[in-house]
Copies of this chain bind each other. A is one copy, B any other.
């Protein structure tokens, strides 16, 4: 896993930071990238402020194999991602001819000026459009940065279209075992189990269910057999505490 591609998700939008909108993209990217063996190492949520977008993008694209941005590529005044991406790369903004053609077709020959903004991309030979099956407005790739819409259905459609462009690593699998036992009662044993499975990341997450406290133990690894074995050890510890696991993990 050490040579696996890495990624950062850059969530651009005042509406997420103000609490107006619940982000629904991070969970999707986390799950999907893990299955592709791309390690999502960080997500940053930043406001619609040009300096912040430019600086954050330049920081993150230097740190990770891939950066995915969501938000700010629509037709309105608050959609400022593309000029910021262009500034970050030191490029001009151009209207992409193919994007203009698609928008013109979609809007029956008459996309207005605002909508033609959605055909704008940074200039350069490393820029390519990313289709989506929901709208006529494309996202795009520039270098190792993938610029996508914020609306979850569109972001997902764009990611599907972009996926073939991505290097993949060994997929990260996960499994879990849950029981009505408090995590503080099995913490010492969990430490030992984690030590026995250094290639498996074991997380402990408390919950309440049916009015009673419980714990979900999650194991993540590229090695399915290690996950199964570690979780079997966890299940044995739970049983030793008198708590029958709800689920027997099968991978």
Hey, which bits of chain A sit against chain B, CB under 8 A?
Answer: 13-23, 26-32, 34, 40-48, 52, 74-79, 112-115, 117, 151, 172, 174, 183-185, 187-188, 190-191, 194, 201-206, 218, 220
Contacts and interface: CB of A to CB of B under 8 A. Distances in A.
Contacts of A27: 19, 21-23
17 contacts: A15-B205, A16-B26, A16-B43, A17-B43, A19-B28, A20-B174, A21-B205, A41-B46, A41-B52, A42-B46, A44-B45, A45-B45, A74-B184, A75-B187, A78-B202, A78-B204, A114-B187
Contacts of A112: 184-185, 187-188
Given A19-B34, A114-B184, 9 more contacts: A14-B203, A16-B26, A16-B30, A17-B41, A19-B27, A23-B23, A43-B44, A78-B194, A78-B204
A204 B113 CA distance: 17
Q: How many copies does the complex hold?
A: 2
A63 to B, nearest CB: 11
A115 B172 CA distance: 31
Shortest beta-carbon contacts, A-B, top 4:
A19-B30, A114-B187, A19-B31, A76-B204
Contacts of A17: 26, 30, 40-43
A208 to B, nearest CB: 9
Given A76-B190, A112-B188, A18 B43 contact: no
A47 B188 CA distance: 22
A151 B183 CA distance: 13
Contacts of A78: 194, 201-204
Contacts of A117: 187
A187 B30 contact: no
Contacts of A183: 74-76
Contacts of A188: 112-114
Contact of A202 (B28, B77, B115, B194): B77
Given A19-B29, A187-B77, A14 B201 contact: yes
Given A76-B204, A188-B113, A191-B77, A30 B42 contact: no
> Which among A15, A19, A204 has the highest number of chain B CB atoms within 10 Å?
A19
A22 B113 CA distance: 38
A197 to B, nearest CB: 12
Contacts of A41: 17, 46-47, 52
